[in-house]
Amino acid sequence: MKNTFFKLALISLSFLSATSCSSDKTTEEEEEVIVTPPPVVETDPLTTTNVATYMVDKNATPETAALFYNLKKLAKTKFAIGQQDAFNSFYQDTGGDSDIKKNTGYDPAVLGSDFMFITDKNNNNQSDNWFYQQEQKITSDVKAAYAKGIINTFSWHIREPNKEDSFYTDDMTADEKATAFKSILPGGTNHEWYKKKLDKVASVVLNLKGSKGELIPIIFRPFHEFDGSWFWWGANFSTPDEYKKAYQFTVDYLKNTKGVHNILYAFSPDNSYTTEVSYLSRYPGDTYVDIIGMDNYGDFNNQGQNGADKANAKMKIISDLAKTKVKIAAMTETGYSVTSSTAPIENWFSTYLYSALTANDIEVSYVLFWNNNMDGYYVPNAAAPNANDFKTFATKSKSALVNSLPKMYELPK
């Protein structure tokens, strides 16, 4: 019995010990389980059905709404590459394909144009008039670009309202500089003059039509580089409130009074700002802006990677704002001018500019270079010494010429 009792006791203890160890192990395993929350899926607020709600013009044409949508989506993976007057400004030759195409084999993805000659006081709409001939050339280029799937954007170097000879403040008297911008506001002495200029803009834009009679969408950026003092609409010659009123009037007049519904509106200061607050100091409001941009030459002027990093930090501000506001971010102008006395900067395109447009996960829809001429260039043709640098830039994974654009004027099915 005694031996039997001890055997039973040992069996019982062994069972209890085994049970205890198993229980402890289970508890430890339960304690080690880390509960991982499901990943946060960021949903894009912009859809093909609600695109108009984020646009300035709720009655925009279907092609214009598609351009807004596709520019916004494009920025997630690529930026479109373009040039001002690409079809008419050439380095060291007289014509043919754009210098971008001469270099890369493909047309630019963006064509920049200007209302300057179109609204010039000397444009009398007669076929033998040089300014009217420029108007015809510009509108013809816009139509040709649209037919190829290229994005069209317009700046406006509008002449000051007094003598209408220049848009630069260096050519104006102190009194003209102090009063010119204020005079075009509602109630100002030159307000009716300004409305007539807008009438001309509206007339031209409403006559930009594709092969099926559809209106061609354009991007319009009035009063650009307003934070500088070189243009008569610059910050030294208007208050923030006056600037906003002029911008808002421009949009309202074209959209509501003239019935123009094929414009995306761009807001584009120069590169003076370093904070979101300073960037938005003259912002006319989300209901007046489709594209949040920046012109930036200064940060790329022989400043190397440090300059590129400064430009990227500023573009990061724009990109973040565009994400928050569901707008489109863009480098609305940039470049480095190469002339007979100014040599190109090694790897300017493929290293410095590319990093400025892509680092820190920013989303930029397009970049526009300024125009070339016989004596100098912003974009090298195939014979220029830095041709390979641009070609490398244009073939990088986030770069897009017209051959790698989606159908910009159609909403995806």
The per-residue pLDDT string of the chain (413 residues; one tens digit each, 9 = 90 and over) reads 444 433 434 434 343 344 444 444 444 444 455 666 666 555 789 999 999 999 999 999 999 999 999 999 999 999 999 999 999 999 998 789 999 999 999 999 999 999 999 999 999 999 999 999 999 999 999 999 999 999 999 999 999 999 999 999 999 999 999 999 999 999 999 999 999 999 999 999 999 999 999 999 999 999 999 999 999 999 999 999 999 999 999 999 999 999 999 999 999 999 999 999 999 999 999 999 999 999 999 999 999 999 999 999 999 999 999 999 999 999 999 999 999 999 999 999 999 999 999 999 999 999 999 999 999 999 999 999 999 999 999 999 999 999 999 999 999 98
Whether 276 sits among the annotated catalytic residues: the reply is no
Assign 96 to helix, strand or coil: coil
> Beta strand pairing status for 366-369 and 338-339?
unpaired
**pLDDT at position 33, please?**
55
Q: Is 246 left (phi over 0), alpha (psi -120 to 50) or beta?
A: alpha
- Cα–Cα distances (Å) from 168 to 98, 233, 257, in that order, read 28, 9, 29
Q: What is the pLDDT of residue 55?
A: 98
Write down all domains in the chain, each with its CATH number in brackets: 58-404 (3.20.20.80)
Supply the pLDDT for residue 95: 84
Q: What is the DSSP string of 327-346?
A: -EEEEEEE---EESSSPPPT
Q: Is the dihedral of CA 9, 10, 15, 20 positive or negative?
A: positive
Q: Which of 176, 225, 276, 410 is catalytic?
A: 225
pTM over 0.85: yes
Neighbours of 41 (CB within 10 A): 5
DSSP tag of 257: I
The verdict on whether 333 is a catalytic residue reads yes
Residue positions counted in the chain = 413
**Among the residues of 184-329, which ranges form H helices?**
191-205, 240-252, 276-279, 304-325
DSSP letter string, 345-372: PTTIIIIIIHHHHHGGG----EEEEPPP
Contact 353, 380 (CB under 8 A): no
Dist CA 378 CA 192 (whole Å): 37
Report how far apart, in Å, the C-alpha atoms of 41 and of each of 37, 78, 412 are: 12, 22, 22
Distance CA 243, CA 240 (A): 5
- Interacting residues of 250 by C-beta distance below 8 A, sequence separation 6+: 198, 222, 223
pLDDT value at position 11?
Answer: 39
Identified catalytic residue from 63, 135, 176, 333? 333
